[in-house]
Chain A
Amino acid sequence: MAEAAIRVQGLIKRYGPTIAVNGIDLEVRKGEIFGLLGPNGAGKTTTLECLEGIRKADGGRMTVDGCNPQSDRKELRRRLGVQLQSSSLPDSIRADEAMSLVCAWHGLAPRIDLLKGFGMETSLKKQYHALSTGQKRRLHLALALVGDPAVVVLDEPTAGLDVQGRAQLHDAIRALKAKGITILLATHDMAEAETLCDRLAIMIHGNIAAVGSPAQVTAAGHGETRIIVRTMNGSLLPGRDIGNARFTKVSEGYGEWMCSDAAAAVIDLLRKVQAAGDTVEDLRVERPSLEERFLELVDGGEHE
């Protein structure tokens, strides 16, 4: 098993009487993209801020690339790149000036190559206020990579971006992973988490409710598989339960069944079609999505 780039043990953070993070344990392996999901107020940003050294934890232990973010903040800045959820730069600073500035404070020559690598060659002289949201995000990502950090924390990096901007940023994140950089990504976008993350954790009310690969987390739910079938002669309609498949509805010639054992249900349905001398025109098997699993966990958490 790969070594841990980030290790969190029993992290606690309170705001007055409110417990924002309730003794969570988390491990992010070196070189992986790890997603942190959760509804608003679940404690994701607080957890990230503790790891970034910009918020003081009330309990627990943490290491980021072997460094304690609470006590070794100077060393942390060399090892950890951070893109905050809500951050900004002065309106009148130019992209190249921002890069020069951050590089200078890291004791480095300006890394204009990073900006060019994120497709900002033509925006180097643009002032911050004149950059598009996507360009601002890419600028902040480039600034986070100035010191060639081993770990990068991205807090909702694609929020508010259009489809093209989102795709560009996803490519950039994949490129970072290809370089061996560990990425901890907080997001509300389930599709993003499903396609980008090697593993993820779902946080609810300051606790980790589920952790694993997107497929593992999805499979661990109680959600049933949906089977949608349309035949040439409509032999399965008006529709009834077949074997272990529960008929749910019919729509535009499609019958829909829900089941827990998809393979057995599909076989039963196909046998029925064959027996009627009918032909299958369209057959879809849809596993519960990460989003459905997420909602199941959140709803469960709300009811607790």
Chain B
Amino acid sequence: MNAFLLHLWVQVRMDARERGTLLTFYAVPLTFFVVMGAVFSSINPTTKETLAASMSIFAVTMGAVLGAPIPLVKMRESGVLRAYRVSGIPSRAVLFIQEVSAFFHLLLVSAIIFATAPLFFGAGLPRDYTGYFTILLIYIFASIALGLLIGVTARSQSMATMLSQAVFLPSLLLSGIMFPASLLPRPLLWLGRIFPATHAMQSFSVLAYHLKANYSGASALGITACIGMLATAIAVWRFEAAGREELG
């Protein structure tokens, strides 16, 4: 346990020194949050109500889907995983530590957004705080799982970037965090439902803010959790399989 905690602490410190991590987990999402809060919410005041939730979804999606996969691919490509393995550091622990440290960063950036959105931009407060944070935790878990899945599946960093964008951009545009999903044409509306961001936004609206939405918030939350669990299972399986392949 000591080794695990020390490894986690070292990982968080390494993250703090990595410009890429700071950009994708903090700088870009918080800048986007400021722009959205200051400009878009004055253009479309209805977005003010759920600003904290929608910007948290943006920050979590960006950090988990764009930020988490690359370090994993880099570790595999550059031989860090092999070096860890021969030094007695279990590969599965490395994967788990990546997940936990990403969780920490995403929780922190979401907390910053939650605390500052009402203060600086007059964003609405959730009616159900427990619901809000339960949805947030489940969404962070699901997004990191997708990020890890991309990280263990992609054969190269460029491939990982492509896969990440293929998840990130539709999540951003089709989930309803930028504008109401009901404005989308029907095929795009259904396409958006592949991504957990759509279900998370739905859950926040219904369960945390008690707003009307297209379908049940509980079902949306259940789907988000299922996507997370499925992605985790496949990511772990892929990771183990890659380890076995490497053993030859």
Q: Which one of B2, B71, B75, B248 has the highest number of Cβ atoms from chain A below 10 Å of its Cβ?
A: B248
Residues of A within 8 A of B6 (CB): 100-101, 104
User: Which of A133-175 touch B at CB < 8 Å?
Assistant: 140, 143-144, 146-147
- Interchain CB contact under 8 A, B80 and A84: no
B7 adjacent to A105 (CB under 8 Å) = yes
Interface contact A102-B88, CB-CB below 8 Å: yes
Chain B CB within 8 A of A237 CB: no
Pair A82/B86 contact, Cβ less than 8 Å? yes
Q: Is the CB of A84 within 8 A of B14?
A: no
Note all chain B residues with C-beta closer than 8 A to A97. Answer: 10, 13-14
Cβ of B95 under 8 Å from chain A:
no
Task: Quote the shortest CB–CB distance from B76 to chain A (angstroms).
Answer: 11
Q: Evaluate contact between B79 and A88: CB separation under 8 angstroms.
A: yes
Task: Return the contact of A92 from the options B3, B18, B82, B90 (Cβ within 8 A).
Answer: B18
For the complex, give the distance between the alpha carbons of A91 and B82 in Å.
Answer: 15
Is B17 in contact with chain A by the CB < 8 A criterion?
yes
Complex-state Cα separation, A52 to B85, whole angstroms:
10
Cα A107 to Cα B88 with chains together (Å): 10
Contact partners of A102 in chain B: CB under 8 A: 87-89
Question: Are B14 and A88 neighbours in the complex by a CB distance under 8 Å?
Answer: no
B10: chain A residues at CB < 8 Å are 93, 97, 100-101
State the total of A-B contacts with C-beta under 8 angstroms: 77
- The answer to whether B80 touches A90 (Cβ under 8 A) is yes
Most buried by B among A90, A91, A100, A144: A90
A77-B88 contact, Cβ under 8 Å, with A56-B247, A104-B7: yes
Judging by beta carbons under 8 Å apart, are A87 and B7 in contact? no
- For residue A123, CB closer than 8 A to chain B, the reply is no
Query: How many chain-B residues does the 8 Å CB contact rule pick out?
Result: 25
CB-nearest residue of chain A relative to B5? A104
Q: Which residues does chain B contribute within 8 Å of A143, judged by CB atoms?
A: 83, 87
Is A54 part of the binding interface, using a Cβ–Cβ cutoff of 8 Å? yes
CA–CA, A87 and B80, complex, Å: 6
CA distance A54 to B83 in the complex (A): 11
Q: How far is the CA of A90 from the CA of B70 in the complex (A)?
A: 12
Considering the complex, give the chain B residue whose CB is closest to the CB of A107: B3
B residues 139-158 in Cβ contact with A at 8 Å: none
A-B contact pairs, 27 of them (CB 8 A): A13-B248, A54-B82, A54-B247, A56-B248, A77-B88, A78-B88, A84-B83, A84-B86, A87-B79, A88-B78, A88-B79, A88-B83, A90-B14, A90-B75, A97-B10, A97-B13, A97-B14, A102-B88, A104-B3, A104-B6, A104-B7, A105-B3, A105-B89, A106-B88, A107-B3, A144-B87, A147-B88
Binding site for A on B (CB under 8 A): 2-3, 6-7, 10, 13-14, 17-18, 71, 75, 78-80, 82-83, 85-90, 246-248
Task: Given contacts A54-B246, A97-B10, list 19 more A-B pairs with CB under 8 A.
Answer: A15-B248, A77-B86, A87-B80, A88-B78, A88-B79, A88-B80, A89-B80, A89-B83, A90-B71, A92-B14, A101-B3, A101-B6, A101-B10, A102-B88, A102-B89, A104-B2, A104-B3, A105-B87, A140-B83
